[in-house]
Amino acid sequence: METATFWSAFVLLLLVTDPLGSMPLFVSLMRQVAPERRRIVILREVAVAFSVLFVFMLVGKQFLALMHLSETSLGIAGGVILFLIALRMVFPQPGGVLGETHHGEPFIVPLAIPLVAGPSALATVLLLVSRDPARLWEWVGALVLTMAVVGLTLAFSEKISRLLGEKVVTAFERLMGLILTAISVEMLLSGIRQYLGTLH
């Protein structure tokens, strides 16, 4: 995370928002929505998720100060959350990554929050900005690109699911889970190293 670039930030945000892993739950949610409403719902939910993450980017430093949180504790907490999310990706649960099922047209919950703008995504944007605030608009650009990919993936989720098949989607999600596990462990180790450095 110390040497994050635009593309590494984009890949990390894409992994934590996990649009492919969200497809099964998203498809089941959209079955209860009229076809003519689906694009509107997707645009609305992605816009809400982007707004929440963008606000966290802007006020992340102030939020940390207000809550008396250090970057070290945020890094360790973010690593733990990412690790738990990654475990659910590697070992899928019946209700999906969030372990939940919902009924009716999604409105903010559960699609925008916590499916896209979940705890891991919030921790990631806070960490990016708190560690390198001078590159704020670079991180915003990475977030915009991530949300565009998420929106397109969700818009074509039914077609992608049919094209790839359930087994391929599950295998890909597990692969992404393994990558995210490695990232989360690196975040944890980095946070622990920083903490140990403060003890001297």
Is the pLDDT score of 127 beyond 80? yes
Of 140 and 175, more confident: 140
pLDDT in tens, 80-95: 877 887 787 777 665 5
pLDDT of residue 112: 85
Is the pLDDT score of 97 beyond 60? no
This prediction's pTM: 0.74
Is the pLDDT score of 30 beyond 50? yes
Of 40 and 71, more confident: 40
94: preceding bond cis by omega (within 30 degrees): no
Helical packing angle, 166-198 and 157-164, nearest 10° = 110
Tally the C-alpha atoms within 13 A of residue 40's C-alpha that lie toward its C-beta.
Answer: 7
